[in-house]
Amino acid sequence: MIRLSVPFRQAVSRLSPVLMLMLSLGCILIGRADQHFDEDLRAGLNDILAPAYMVFATPIQAAEHGTGVVGHLFSLSEENAQLREQNEELLQWQEVAMALQAQNDALKASMNYVPSPMPQYSTGEVVADTGGVYDRSVLVLVPPANGNPQSLVGAVAMDGRGVAGRVVEAGARSARVLLISDLNSRIPVALGANGAPALMAGRNDPTPALIYWSPGQPPAEGAMVLTSAQGGAFPPGLPVGVVHYNAQNDPVVLPLANLDALRLLRLFSYPDNLPVLTQIPHTKPAPESRHGKRH
């Protein structure tokens, strides 16, 4: 053990708060200057912690799912009857769906419709709630990415019912999903049947606000909110939620995804070849157009 003189140790102990403060402030500054600094640190830490989270989360989930194997045995015959009934109903729906698909295919064929690109997806379990006072995000355990883990960044995260958020950081084993309720989340959406454009902004509470809707078309109560392809960040037509007017008479979105209790998320990585927005030239109109006006 190193023995230090008493005055030296006193000086160190007096200086250490100042030194540590300066180090921490330096950390903040480096984080501000270099975005990758904290992303790399976080992805590394999350990759280490994710398996540990998984180990601890499993018994919790087992407890949540009720009484376990013995409990399920008692309700087995009941469940079977219910499933049989449901199966019959679904078979009827399958017939309806197949008829509709045939009709849809025929209509698309007659209109020379270009199908939208199919996304790749991976399914992951939500193992940790990584939010803070001003953040809403969750950590998802993903299967080891083949090759480039960064390919997951920007993927759309959906639970069984609707869009829950987007992947903002991805490591080899884990991905961090920024939820739509986060203050930094801004998602272009289309409202109702005619797809009126608006922006959905997270407010750090369960219901994101709707902003920048066109003044002539106020969002209707109960209208469906879908993602919009404006800006190219999201594919069009993914279900997000329903419009609702809150007590202050501001339009908000009631998300379809159960943001408070996310268990499984599917991360859809869309190919980069989404339709590019038409470029509007900023040059002066060509002389031909003036020529045309004279006629």
Partner 1 sequence: MSRLPAARRRQTIWRQLDAAARWALPGAMLAFGLFLLGLPFHIPGQALLRPAYAMGCVYFWSLFRPGSMPIPLTGLIGLLLDLMGVTPPGLWAVLLILLQSATLLARRRLAPRRFLFTWAAFTGFAAGTSLLAWGMQSGLGFSLLPLWPSGLEILISAALYPALAAVLVRVHRGAAAVELS
Judged by DSSP in three states, 52 sits in helix
In angstroms, what is the minimal distance from the CB of 207 to partner 1? Answer: 14
Q: Binding partner 1 by CB under 8 A: which of 85, 263, 275, 286?
A: 263
In angstroms, what is the minimal distance from the CB of 224 to partner 1? Answer: 26
The nearer residue to partner 1, 28 or 90, going by C-beta atoms, is 28
Token output for 23: 């180090």
Judged by DSSP in three states, 148 sits in coil
In angstroms, what is the minimal distance from the CB of 206 to partner 1? Answer: 9
| Residue 10 binds to partner 1 (criterion: CB under 8 A) | no
| Residue 209 binds to partner 1 (criterion: CB under 8 A) | no
Q: What is the DSSP string of 184-246?
A: T-EEEEEETTTTEEEEEE--SSSSPEEES--TTSPPPTT-EEEE--GGGSS-TT-EEEEEEE-
Could you give the count of Cα atoms lying within 13 Å of 154 in the half-sphere of its Cβ?
12
Q: Does residue 210 contact residue 243 with C-beta atoms inside 8 Å?
A: yes
Number of residues that bind partner 1 (CB under 8 A): 46
| Residue 129 binds to partner 1 (criterion: CB under 8 A) | yes
| Residue 37 binds to partner 1 (criterion: CB under 8 A) | yes
Containing H/E element for 139? strand 137-141
Token output for 73: 């045995």
Site string for partner 1, 47-76 (x = CB under 8 A): --x--xx--xx--x----------------
Burial (CB count within 10 angstroms: exposed 0-12, middle 13-18, buried 19+), residue 260: exposed
| Residue 204 binds to partner 1 (criterion: CB under 8 A) | yes
Stretch that binds partner 1, among 19-27, 82-90, 237-245, 248-256 (CB under 8 A): 19-27
In angstroms, what is the minimal distance from the CB of 12 to partner 1? Answer: 10
The nearer residue to partner 1, 226 or 256, going by C-beta atoms, is 256
Q: Does residue 170 contact residue 150 with C-beta atoms inside 8 Å?
A: yes
Q: Which residues bind partner 1 (CB under 8 A)?
A: 16-17, 20-21, 23-28, 31-32, 37-38, 41-42, 45, 49, 52-53, 56-57, 60, 126-139, 176, 178, 183, 203-204, 260-263
